[in-house]
Amino acid sequence: MYPATIKLQLHRECKERRRATGGGIAMRVAIGCDEAAFELKEVLRRHLADAGHDVHDFGVHDTRPAAYPDVAFAVAEAIAAGRHDRGVLVCGTGIGMAICANKVRGIRAAQAHDTYSAGRASMSNDAQIVTLGARVVGPELAKSVVDTFLAATFQGGRSAPKVELIARYERGKHD
């Protein structure tokens, strides 16, 4: 039931954004991958565009070996700067992309391979980026994970002080 509830919320939010923009975009999504995840990234890119999102592809654009940190940093920096609402990063496991994206100040990236974790990443941790592993999840599950992540919004509540502690630490206030 949880994933269905999130999907309904996504549908309502996208519909409302389209109405507010005169039928325009639902969300500005940055997407990127390494060569191991190129095919899955393409599936997700098309899926997001078909859902009405404005998708900016940060690469890679083929299966030649590439330095995934460059892609992760570019996506995370674009989100931190406010040019995109959310991000999706895909590599072999999702781990490397998460580590890299989390190095960018103000970014919270979470690896998720199931819909529950994807929803909680945003709802409890205010994550702006979800990372997935192309060697871990198939295309249909990846679509559901991304849809759930994009539909979820930060709930605040008991999690808000914890997220603020993370932000404070990041700003250099460790006391």
**CB-based contact 90:149 (threshold 8 Å):** no
**CB-based contact 109:101 (threshold 8 Å):** yes
Tokens of 127: 């994550």
**CB-based contact 131:94 (threshold 8 Å):** yes
Query: Is the preceding peptide bond at 137 cis, omega within 30 degrees of 0?
Result: no
Residue 117 neighbours by CB under 8 Å, 6+ apart? 110, 111
User: Within its chain, how far is the Cα of 146 from the centroid?
Assistant: 7
**CB-based contact 110:146 (threshold 8 Å):** no
**CB-based contact 132:32 (threshold 8 Å):** no
Catalytic residue among 14, 33, 91, 100: 91
Q: Is 91 a catalytic residue?
A: yes
Catalytic residues: 91
